[in-house]
């Protein structure tokens, strides 16, 4: 595969741009890119650019933009994932795979049972890190639109999303997920709890926001499994699988 890199600044065919430092490091030291190699660049504003490495001087990688390709690889459903904050690499894993599966937004929520509880500067740093995880996933899977990872908030602070069918993943629900998906039209919001799940009060708050509880089957899934299983099932039932 031709290496893909995200560049924050607007791109334009015929111009030359420099890869960001982290992307340059990955290109030179991991992918072993050399001058003259073909690469693909995207800025998240739509489509991608065929490009060629013009020069490499240590970690300064100059790339010539050749042609804009109006290619999109977005699923037909606009999917928002409300994910209870999980600890360590589990949150990174969930975000990375959710982006690969086509999620459009990730809204981390601090639940009562969340083991990870970043605050202040640490919370801002975690959000920045998660956004980089989403960008890396787009580089890998071919998406040219980068999903936004919102700041972590409490469940009670979750904004009302009126133009989306909302499903709360709950092992206690009687409604099957496949049945709930029948009511999904163009947009859906999925809510998945952290390691120990949402509290009764948090589930009540989600129900007040219009979420419908649905079950993924008789087995209790881990937090990083539940959201991804739901996204994959949703793609198979109403998406682009």
Residues 19, 89, single domain; the answer is: no
List of E strands, the chain:
4-6, 16-18, 38-42, 48-57, 60-69, 78-84, 105-110, 148-149, 153-154, 165-169, 187-192, 212-214
pLDDT at residue 55, rounded to an integer:
96
Domain count, the chain: 2
Which residues form the domain of 32? 4-69
Residues 47, 84, single domain; the answer is: no
68 pLDDT above the threshold of 80: yes
Residues 54, 96, single domain; the answer is: no
% residues pLDDT > 90 (the chain): 79
The last residue of a domain, from among 69, 90, 105: 69
CATH label of the domain that carries residue 167: 3.40.1280.10
Q: Where are the alpha helices (DSSP H) in 33-88?
A: none
CATH label of the domain that carries residue 27: 2.40.240.20
The first and second tokens of residue 159, run together, are 């904004």
Residues 140, 196, single domain; the answer is: yes
* Mean pLDDT across the chain: 92
How many angstroms separate the CA atoms of 111 and 43, rounded? 33
Instruction: Give bridge partners of residue 227 from the DSSP assignment.
Output: none
Render pLDDT for 77-101 as a digit per residue (tens, 0 to 9): 999 999 999 887 899 999 999 999 9
Residues 28, 140, single domain; the answer is: no
Residues 123, 147, single domain; the answer is: yes
pLDDT at residue 14, rounded to an integer:
95
The first and second tokens of residue 168, run together, are 């709360």
224 pLDDT above the threshold of 80: yes
107 pLDDT above the threshold of 90: yes
Render pLDDT for 173-200 as a digit per residue (tens, 0 to 9): 999 999 999 999 999 999 999 888 899 9
How many angstroms separate the CA atoms of 217 and 230, rounded? 11
């Amino acid at each position: 595969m031709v290496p893909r890199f995200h560049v924050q600044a607007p791109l334009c065919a015929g111009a030359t741009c420099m890869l960001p430092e982290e992307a340059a490091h990955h290109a030179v030291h991991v992918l072993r890119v050399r001058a003259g190699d073909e690469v693909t660049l995207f800025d998240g504003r739509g489509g991608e650019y065929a490009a060629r490495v013009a020069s490499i001087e240590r970690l300064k990688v100059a790339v010539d933009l050749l042609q804009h390709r109006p290619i999109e690889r977005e699923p037909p459903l606009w999917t928002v994932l409300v994910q209870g904050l999980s600890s360590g690499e589990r949150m990174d894993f969930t975000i990375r795979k959710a982006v690969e599966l086509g999620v459009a937004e990730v809204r981390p929520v601090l639940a009562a049972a969340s083991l990870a509880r970043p605050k202040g500067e640490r919370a801002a740093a975690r959000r920045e890190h998660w956004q980089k995880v989403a960008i890396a996933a787009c580089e890998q899977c071919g998406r040219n639109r980068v999903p936004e990872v919102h700041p972590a908030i409490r469940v009670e602070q979750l904004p009302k999303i009126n133009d989306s069918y909302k499903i709360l993943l709950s092992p206690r629900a009687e409604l099957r997920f496949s049945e709930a998906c029948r009511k999904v039209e163009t947009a859906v919001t999925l809510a998945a709890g952290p390691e120990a799940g949402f509290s009764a009060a948090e589930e009540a708050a989600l129900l007040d926001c219009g979420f419908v509880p649905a079950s993924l089957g008789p087995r209790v899934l881990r937090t990083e499994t539940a959201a991804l299983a739901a996204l994959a099932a949703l793609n198979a039932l109403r998406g682009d699988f």
